[in-house]
Structure 1
Amino acid sequence: MGLFTSNPLPDPVGDAAPPVDEHPSRITEVLGHLRRSADTRITHPRRFRAQQLRALEKMLAERTGEFLDALAEDLGKSATEAKFSEIDVVRSEIDHAQRHLSEWMDSTAVKVPLALQPAMAKVEPRPLGVVLIIGPWNYPLQLMLAPLVAAIAAGNAAVLKPSELAPATSGVLAKLLPMYLDARVYAVIEGGVDTATELLAARWDHIFFTGGQQVARVVAEAAAKQLTPTTLELGGKSPAVVDNQSLPTAKRLAYAKFMNTGQTCVAPDYVLSIGDTDALIARLGQAIAGFYGKDPINHPDYGRIVSRKHFDRLVGMLDSGEVVHGGDCDADTLRIAPTIMRQVDLDSKLMQEEIFGPILPVVEVASFDEALEFIAARPSPLAAYLMSESPRLQSIFSDRVRAGAIVHNAPLAQMVIPSLPFGGVGASGMGSYHGKYGFDRLSQIRSELSKTTVIDTLSAIYPPYTWAKRKIIDRLL
């Protein structure tokens, strides 16, 4: 049984959870320890939450080098790309949460109807309890810690399950997190499918999953057995409709598509080109050469595919159309050059499944309406992009396209704005987070009503219902 491994945890904060060994029952022991700690309400005070957010920020600042080394080992990420896409994004989330935490935690007074006065009512966010966060391999640090920021801000305890496909990052997280955060209420559990299965069989107050649709169905089924609420951050085929074939358009598309070697859930998955497709393809090639030179596979700023399985899957997609740029592959280093394709088979896996790699199909369409119909005929994506300077087309696109996010002319930029919700719709996900949206998602938004018994103003509606009482009730309600 491929369970997680245990790392020595020097000088943990507080009374740390017991180290996890190869015995499955130890998972239950760790979870029981965290739940008992959470039941003491140590995570509830604002001071505690703020201190943990500061500690998380300190970990990222002091251990940047270790995380960058791990990300390079797992995905071949350059230090610059890894820092801004994994570490800086999380630090921005932490900073945003620190500045707004008091405001988010405040209760909100609610007006009480005349029939119930005198009384006071309010809505107050309350911690849920213990949250399970299951992360993916493509951004193994950012997509583990950004949900953790929301969990900490909302006053929850949390267990993190990093992806086993990014073992170096998983190991660094397992080593460092207990050294900085309070190990009584935060833990990292490493492992593969067996570990995840055992974790999902436990009782949680919320499960936060980022990954693919197939595994999401398993998560949702397991959660449903215990009526556990879930947040599912998935993906899908995010389209980019282009009626502006300029070089800036091509650069923005190429950057968004080929960052992290195309292994980004909101990367443009395919292009619907209106107009001069030859010019667009030429400028995409120009943009790629400007970013990664004549030999992208060996460029220091260009990464690799996460595993041989995913490499082989992507190589198999290259037969689904005409390769007009790139297409070079290196099985030894798991690298595939940035690739542009056209004349693609719309029934192939290339156009039916999320690509999640450095292959960009360009599909020619005759009109803007045809592009909208193409998108509408497919499952709702996590993001939809329009590359156009026309305010009219932007307005129509926003109105008619169903997606987790609508972005004009700046694909991927929505990811770095903490005050924008991030999440899908339909097949691309359930629930959203970032900033206050994450805080609310991992809080119970609780109603509270308080009314005195010194004056019993409710006596007018008690039975028996005489003619006079019915008149009073009609007027009050």
Structure 2
Amino acid sequence: MEEIVARLGKNLAELRQNFRSGRTRGLVWRKTQLRAILKLVAENEDEIFEALNRDLGKHPAEAYRDEIGVVKKSAEYSLHHIEKWMAPKKGQLPLLLFPAKAEVLPEPLGVVLVFASWNFPISLALDPLIGAISAGNTVVVKPSELAPACSSFLARIVPLYLDNKAIKVVEGGSDVAEKLLEQKWEKIFFTGSPRVGRIIMSAAAKHLTPVTLELGGKCPIILDSLSGSDLKVTVKRISGGKWGACAGQACIGIDYVLVQRKLAPVLVELLQKCIKTFYGENIKNLNSICKIVNKNHFERVCNLLEDPGVAASIVYATVLHWLGCLILFKHLRLIEPTILLDPPLDAAIMTEEIFGPLLPIITLNDVEESIEFINARPNPLAIYVFTKNKTFKEKLLQETSSGSVIFNDTMIQFICDGLPFGGVGQSGFGRYHGKYSFDTFSHEKAILQRSFFLELEPRYPPWNGFKLEFIRLAYNFDYIGLLLLLFGLRRRYTSRTVI
């Protein structure tokens, strides 16, 4: 451990020295690093596929969609816009300061720390890194030890492509994370669970370090009355969102469905058909659904089904008709898509984030009851709503709070660089993607410049009614009133008070 601490200290000293040198502030350096990330993912695509398959069993198509494609899109978007983001923005000033000019200049924060999560171990390491680089920071990336193949890949490959004096990858478990948190950073960016998020925030408080916490939450689907082709499309999008993205191991993954009681049987039937189409019926041959990340998480997901009331609510599981069968698939770390209908609301499956391929369906008398249901629980990271009812859409937007709301699809918000991605309340705070990533890793510095010409004496004592009226008009940008006052054509109101 002493050796690890010494190495961390040496790395941090080098990062600070390089940041202070100003090398990372220039546009050329930033663009060079972003192009290097594009080159990294392009030249190592097959190795990334292999690492993701070893850690999570991701098919190359899923790996490209959720990992490589996300990184390429993000880097290209930043390359296209970074010069505009770096430019100072004109600031507006009160007339009382005339003549003067102001601008807002974004500047890098300094040395920042990025904790990546294991469920999307490539994109959740490189996407925040893109934001930190775009803003001109030096960076330490800590990959998750729960995805060892991807962590090893990043530690080996990143120094071959990126500026190793300004960007470093530090591997290790919780002991290394603890030592990293003891250091002083200008920003900590964390993706993971609320439990660890509290630890991060507590450690950051010692140095008053700002943090961005990308956490999770139980993200619901609200399904309104739909039929025909609309319902069939909805079921495909639910199935793809629940089981097609890391087998439900995603912070924005679907946690449960709220639906009117009369529609539940039809929904279950259509979901069953969709599962068979997407994934087949033999769990041993499932090559389009991810593995559970490790044995502990496998057992955690299985334990959610141990409650007798929960087990009794299972309405679809092609192979696993009793919990004893789970042992047969422990070595595969595969859990098939499973549907539950009205499990007990006080069971762990409805109070903890599932992070697995289990989908509870909760029935309601009326779709509008879903608002009260959601509001009785912590703020979700996302709410997915399938409806054509404009009035209900507006009501839901006004009466619920969540990181995002997506109508008539699932999980697509993650790939939208023009939208902020982040949570609210227990689902996290801070935001990133596109310009929002740049802002997250920047400080907007206010710059104000005044001329020595034309000193406005009404700013100074001794006070009188004329000066009061002058200040009042100046703050209200009342040019006509000021001219009238200066030429003696406007009454002086000394009885008014400034608000």
TM-score (normalizing by structure 1): 0.93
Q: 2:134 aligns with which of 153, 161, 171?
A: 153
Tell me if 1:106 matches 2:90.
Answer: no
Tell me if 1:212 matches 2:212.
Answer: no
Instruction: Judge conservation of contact 2:103–2:446 (CA < 8 Å) in 1.
Output: yes
Identity across the alignment (%) = 40
1:231-242 paired onto structure 2 within 5 Å: 231-242=212-223
Q: What is the alpha-carbon distance in structure 2 between the residues aligned to residue 381 and residue 23 of structure 1?
A: 38
Per-residue deviation, residues 113-137 of structure 1 (Å, max 9, x unmatched): 2211111101111111111000111
The residue number in structure 1 matching 2:70 is: 89
Instruction: Judge conservation of contact 1:237–1:381 (CA < 8 Å) in 2.
Output: yes
The residue number in structure 1 matching 2:99 is: 118
Query: Using a 3 Å threshold, how does the CA distance of structure 1 residues 66 and 387 change in structure 2: closer, same or farther?
Result: same
Per-residue deviation, residues 182-226 of structure 1 (Å, max 9, x unmatched): 111000000111111111111111100000000000000111111
Q: What is the alpha-carbon distance in structure 2 between the residues aligned to residue 398 and residue 298 of structure 1?
A: 42
Instruction: Judge conservation of contact 1:340–1:362 (CA < 8 Å) in 2.
Output: yes
Q: What is the alpha-carbon distance in structure 2 between the residues aligned to residue 98 and residue 297 of structure 1?
A: 43
The residue number in structure 1 matching 2:243 is: 258
Q: What is the alpha-carbon distance in structure 1 between the residues aligned to residue 171 and residue 472 of structure 2?
A: 61
Q: What is the alpha-carbon distance in structure 2 between the residues aligned to residue 357 and residue 316 of structure 1?
A: 12
Q: What is the alpha-carbon distance in structure 1 between the residues aligned to residue 149 and residue 59 of structure 2?
A: 15
Instruction: Judge conservation of contact 1:239–1:271 (CA < 8 Å) in 2.
Output: yes
Query: Using a 3 Å threshold, how does the CA distance of structure 1 residues 319 and 342 change in structure 2: closer, same or farther?
Result: farther
Per-residue deviation, residues 325-348 of structure 1 (Å, max 9, x unmatched): 126331111110011011301001
Q: CA deviation at 1:404?
A: 0.4
Query: Using a 3 Å threshold, how does the CA distance of structure 1 residues 297 and 354 change in structure 2: closer, same or farther?
Result: farther
1:157-306 paired onto structure 2 within 5 Å: 157-243=138-224, 244=226, 246-259=231-244, 260-274=246-260, 275-306=262-293
Q: 1:316 aligns with which of 303, 309, 314?
A: 303
Query: Using a 3 Å threshold, how does the CA distance of structure 1 residues 471 and 252 change in structure 2: closer, same or farther?
Result: closer
Query: Using a 3 Å threshold, how does the CA distance of structure 1 residues 180 and 366 change in structure 2: closer, same or farther?
Result: same
Per-residue deviation, residues 71-121 of structure 1 (Å, max 9, x unmatched): 111111111111111110111111111111111111111222221111110
Q: What is the alpha-carbon distance in structure 1 between the residues aligned to residue 77 and residue 4 of structure 2?
A: 40
Q: What is the alpha-carbon distance in structure 1 between the residues aligned to residue 431 and residue 74 of structure 2?
A: 14
Q: 1:78 aligns with which of 59, 81, 87?
A: 59
Q: What is the alpha-carbon distance in structure 2 between the residues aligned to residue 472 and residue 343 of structure 1?
A: 68
Query: Using a 3 Å threshold, how does the CA distance of structure 1 residues 70 and 462 change in structure 2: closer, same or farther?
Result: same
Per-residue deviation, residues 7-32 of structure 1 (Å, max 9, x unmatched): xxxxxxxxxxxxxx943221111111
SS of residue paired to 1:403: coil
Q: What is the alpha-carbon distance in structure 2 between the residues aligned to residue 114 and residue 247 of structure 1?
A: 60
Instruction: Judge conservation of contact 1:107–1:122 (CA < 8 Å) in 2.
Output: yes
Q: What is the alpha-carbon distance in structure 2 between the residues aligned to residue 183 and residue 331 of structure 1?
A: 40
Query: Using a 3 Å threshold, how does the CA distance of structure 1 residues 355 and 473 change in structure 2: closer, same or farther?
Result: same
Q: CA deviation at 1:468?
A: 5.4
Query: Which amino acid is the alignment partner of residue 440 of structure 2?
Result: R
Instruction: Judge conservation of contact 1:93–1:434 (CA < 8 Å) in 2.
Output: yes
The residue number in structure 1 matching 2:22 is: 41
Query: Which amino acid is the alignment partner of residue 425 of structure 2?
Result: G
The residue number in structure 2 matching 1:395 is: 394
Is the radius of gyration larger for structure 1 or structure 2?
A: 2
The residue number in structure 1 matching 2:360 is: 361
The residue number in structure 2 matching 1:131 is: 112
Per-residue deviation, residues 211-247 of structure 1 (Å, max 9, x unmatched): 0000000000111111111100001000001123622
Q: Which moved more, 1:295-304 or 1:76-85?
A: 295-304
The residue number in structure 1 matching 2:496 is: none
Query: Using a 3 Å threshold, how does the CA distance of structure 1 residues 23 and 403 change in structure 2: closer, same or farther?
Result: closer
Per-residue deviation, residues 338-372 of structure 1 (Å, max 9, x unmatched): 11011301001100000000000001011122111
Q: CA deviation at 1:297?
A: 4.3
TM-score (normalizing by structure 2): 0.89
The residue number in structure 2 matching 1:462 is: 460
SS of residue paired to 1:319: coil
Instruction: Judge conservation of contact 1:270–1:360 (CA < 8 Å) in 2.
Output: yes
Q: Which moved more, 1:209-218 or 1:246-255?
A: 246-255
Q: Which moved more, 1:301-310 or 1:205-214?
A: 301-310
Query: Using a 3 Å threshold, how does the CA distance of structure 1 residues 278 and 348 change in structure 2: closer, same or farther?
Result: same
Query: Using a 3 Å threshold, how does the CA distance of structure 1 residues 371 and 115 change in structure 2: closer, same or farther?
Result: same
SS of residue paired to 2:39: helix
Query: Which amino acid is the alignment partner of residue 457 of structure 1?
Result: E
The residue number in structure 2 matching 1:15 is: none
SS of residue paired to 2:368: helix
Q: What is the alpha-carbon distance in structure 2 between the residues aligned to residue 63 and residue 471 of structure 1?
A: 69
Runs of at least 5 residues in structure 2 that lack an aligned partner in the other structure: 321-325, 476-499
Instruction: Judge conservation of contact 2:99–2:454 (CA < 8 Å) in 1.
Output: no
SS of residue paired to 2:25: coil
Q: CA deviation at 1:469?
A: 4.5
Tell me if 1:409 matches 2:394.
Answer: no
Q: 2:10 aligns with which of 16, 24, 29?
A: 29
SS of residue paired to 1:273: strand
Number of aligned pairs? 457
Q: CA deviation at 1:470?
A: 4.8
Instruction: Judge conservation of contact 1:150–1:435 (CA < 8 Å) in 2.
Output: yes
Instruction: Judge conservation of contact 2:56–2:293 (CA < 8 Å) in 1.
Output: yes
1:51-62 paired onto structure 2 within 5 Å: 51-62=32-43
Q: CA deviation at 1:301?
A: 1.5
Q: What is the alpha-carbon distance in structure 2 between the residues aligned to residue 397 and residue 238 of structure 1?
A: 14
Q: CA deviation at 1:474?
A: 4.4
Q: What is the alpha-carbon distance in structure 2 between the residues aligned to residue 415 and residue 442 of structure 1?
A: 19
Instruction: Judge conservation of contact 1:242–1:271 (CA < 8 Å) in 2.
Output: yes
SS of residue paired to 2:304: helix
Q: Which moved more, 1:290-299 or 1:187-196?
A: 290-299
Query: Which amino acid is the alignment partner of residue 263 of structure 1?
Result: Q
Query: Using a 3 Å threshold, how does the CA distance of structure 1 residues 373 and 468 change in structure 2: closer, same or farther?
Result: closer
Q: CA deviation at 1:141?
A: 0.6
